[in-house]
């Protein structure tokens, strides 16, 4: 027993260390491997210690899981990573809920006590909510469902009502041991599944980073509760660590958006109000005259720049332009320029979305800077190059009150001496707030697919280098 406890502590410490390493781009890969090995060790340790399965059954299950996981890892493209993360969160919640449900159907369910009712019901509820919510999130991210918020009549009241029914039925059902634990858990399962759909379907694409981190936390909580149901301390500890890290990351994402978790899940999709004379009118209806030879001007600015800060956004992910971004950065560095990448915490559709894409392209982690670390450097930069970003660089967040992004911390690309913007159109981002930077006299707007625009800029730099002999 003592040796088992020591092994449990070692595995839990390895999981915790893996999570810690994931916070650093330099050691993220190591943390991922350490976490995977620790979980594998936990599976083998628990099944061996509790004699749940035969050795052959364990090996078959591990082989099936490895094949499915490997196939997903090979087939899924980096741009599809957010929906894969949502899918895996859902699988974690489903596994925890099913294990708790199996306990209710097993021998322990026949002699269930108040504590068994309560913990089993809670594990099933959280697991089911995580599963259905994650499936909706994955569907939205993959384009199966409408990515924008779907608002039902009296949606907030509907969500509150279903949530209240789940809590009341869970509490009363456990206290009174209504209808036996089997029916009790099945009812909770159905209610929680419905609650997950109702809550998540109203979340739009721009809020997905928060939703994914929240559902990640929920999957950890479900696993921890499942550990209580099965009387397994290791599962309780590992689930609690995942849940805690997910909660902290959700808080960080909300802070980066200047929104509360309640506002993300319960507020209606905001309809931003026009602000007279602000230059940040919603809707993007201005008529503008494009600068003559905008591409040539942009090439000239980049050619003479000594300090360039690149701001990637969701548009870079959509156009798969990360490889061209890095190629352009290398071309600028070859001319003696200093090039850095400014990463906003909620750029993209999951935490670290831009980091993952740029890492895929081969960008060294030393060139990636978080918002707080680089925001003060924009003033001294020669060119701020925006690639597919909108809301995260929108000055209206600072200057215009009463919009969905008012007060949200942004990357201050507008402070650069010159701004070059590669974006398909000037249309507002998900928030619906028009970006005045796109009309600024110091900014050059290059409409069209970001990957194609960047390739043209690269060709222009090479041509000027050849024509000048250097």
Burial (CB count within 10 angstroms: exposed 0-12, middle 13-18, buried 19+), residue 45? middle
Flag whether 146 is in a domain: yes
Identify the pLDDT of residue 277. 37
CATH of the domain at 408: 3.40.50.1220
Identify the pLDDT of residue 438. 94
Among residues of the chain, what percentage have pLDDT more than 70? 90
User: Is 456's pLDDT higher than 80?
Assistant: yes
Does the active-site annotation cover 391?
A: yes
User: Is 242's pLDDT higher than 80?
Assistant: yes
For 77-109, the DSSP string reads -GGGHHHHHHHHHHHHHHHHHHHHHHHHHSHHH
From 220, 252, 269, give the residue that closes a domain. Answer: 269
Flag whether 235 is in a domain: yes
Could you report the per-residue pLDDT of 188-212, keeping only the tens digit for each?
999 999 999 999 998 877 788 889 9
User: Is 84's pLDDT higher than 80?
Assistant: yes
Flag whether 236 is in a domain: yes
SS (H, E, C) 411-426: CCHHHCCEEEEEECCC
**Same domain for 67 and 92:** no
Identify the pLDDT of residue 175. 79
Could you report the per-residue pLDDT of 124-173, keeping only the tens digit for each?
999 999 999 999 999 988 888 887 788 888 888 999 999 999 999 998 88
From 269, 303, 329, give the residue that closes a domain. Answer: 269
Q: How many helices (DSSP H) and strands (DSSP E) are in the chain? A: 18, 6
From 72, 105, 126, give the residue that closes a domain. Answer: 72
**Same domain for 195 and 313:** no
**Same domain for 49 and 96:** no
pLDDT band of residue 268 (cuts 50, 70, 90) is very low
Q: Which member of 293, 307, 376, 391 is catalytic?
A: 391
**Same domain for 251 and 318:** no
Q: Which domain holds residue 191?
A: 84-269
Identify the pLDDT of residue 469. 57
Could you report the per-residue pLDDT of 407-428, keeping only the tens digit for each?
899 999 999 999 999 999 999 8
Could you report the per-residue pLDDT of 282-329, keeping only the tens digit for each?
444 444 556 668 899 999 999 999 999 999 999 999 999 999 999 999
Could you report the per-residue pLDDT of 40-57, keeping only the tens digit for each?
888 888 887 777 677 788
Flag whether 285 is in a domain: no
Mean pLDDT computed over every residue of the chain:
86
Identify the pLDDT of residue 412. 96
**Same domain for 191 and 150:** yes
Contacts of 129 (CB under 8 A, 6+ apart): 93, 192, 193, 195, 196, 199, 218
pLDDT band of residue 102 (cuts 50, 70, 90) is confident
pLDDT band of residue 403 (cuts 50, 70, 90) is confident
**Same domain for 99 and 49:** no
User: Is 448's pLDDT higher than 50?
Assistant: yes
Query: Residue 383: helix, strand or coil by DSSP?
Result: strand
User: Is 281's pLDDT higher than 50?
Assistant: no
Flag whether 275 is in a domain: no
**Same domain for 209 and 106:** yes
**Same domain for 124 and 51:** no
Flag whether 78 is in a domain: no
Flag whether 130 is in a domain: yes
CB 388 within 8 A of CB 315: yes
Structural domain count, the chain: 3
Flag whether 141 is in a domain: yes
**Same domain for 441 and 303:** yes
**Same domain for 337 and 264:** no
**Same domain for 436 and 409:** yes
pLDDT band of residue 432 (cuts 50, 70, 90) is confident
**Same domain for 243 and 127:** yes
């Amino acid at each position: 027993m003592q040796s088992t406890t020591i092994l449990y502590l070692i595995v839990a410490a390895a999981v915790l260390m893996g999570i810690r390493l994931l916070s650093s781009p330099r050691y993220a890969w190591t943390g991922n491997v350490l976490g995977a090995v620790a979980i594998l060790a936990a599976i083998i340790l628990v099944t061996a210690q509790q004699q749940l399965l035969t050795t052959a059954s364990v090996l078959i299950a591990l082989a099936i899981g490895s094949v499915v996981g490997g196939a997903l890892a090979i087939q899924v493209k980096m741009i599809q990573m957010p929906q894969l993360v949502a899918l895996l969160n859902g699988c974690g919640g489903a596994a925890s809920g099913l294990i708790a449900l199996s306990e209710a159907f097993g021998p322990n369910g026949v002699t269930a006590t108040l504590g068994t009712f309560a913990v089993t019901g809670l594990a099933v509820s959280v697991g089911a909510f995580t599963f259905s919510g994650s499936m909706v999130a994955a569907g939205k991210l993959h384009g199966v469902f409408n990515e924008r918020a779907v608002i039902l009549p009296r949606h907030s009241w509907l969500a509150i009502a279903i949530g209240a029914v789940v809590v009341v039925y869970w509490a009363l059902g456990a206290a009174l041991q209504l209808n036996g634990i089997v029916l009790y858990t099945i009812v909770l399962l159905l209610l929680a599944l419905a609650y997950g759909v109702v809550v998540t379907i109203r979340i739009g694409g721009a809020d997905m980073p928060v939703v994914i981190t929240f559902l990640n936390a929920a999957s950890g909580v479900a696993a921890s509760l499942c550990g209580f149901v099965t009387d397994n301390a290791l599962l309780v500890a590992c689930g609690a660590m995942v849940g805690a890290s997910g909660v902290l990351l959700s808080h960080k994402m909300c802070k980066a958006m200047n929104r509360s978790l309640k506002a993300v899940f319960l507020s209606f999709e905001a309809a931003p109000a026009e602000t007279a004379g602000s230059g940040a009118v919603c809707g993007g209806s201005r008529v503008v005259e494009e600068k003559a030879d905008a591409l040539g001007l942009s090439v000239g600015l980049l050619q003479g720049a000594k300090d360039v800060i690149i701001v990637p956004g969701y548009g870079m992910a959509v156009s798969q332009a990360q490889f061209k971004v890095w190629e352009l950065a290398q071309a600028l560095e070859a001319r003696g320029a200093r090039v850095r990448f400014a990463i906003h915490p909620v750029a993209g559709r999951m935490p670290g979305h831009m980091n993952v894409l740029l890492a895929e392209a081969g960008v060294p982690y030393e060139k990636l800077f978080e918002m707080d670390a680089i925001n003060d450097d924009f003033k001294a930069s020669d060119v701020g190059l925006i690639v597919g970003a909108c809301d995260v660089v929108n000055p209206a967040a600072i200057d215009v009150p009463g919009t969905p992004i008012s007060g949200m911390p942004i990357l201050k690309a507008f402070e650069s001496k010159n701004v070059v913007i590669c974006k398909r159109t000037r249309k507002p981002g998900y928030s619906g707030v028009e970006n005045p930077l796109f009309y600024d006299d110091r900014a050059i707007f290059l409409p069209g697919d970001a990957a194609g625009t960047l390739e043209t800029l690269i060709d222009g730099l090479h041509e000027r280098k050849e024509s000048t002999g250097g």
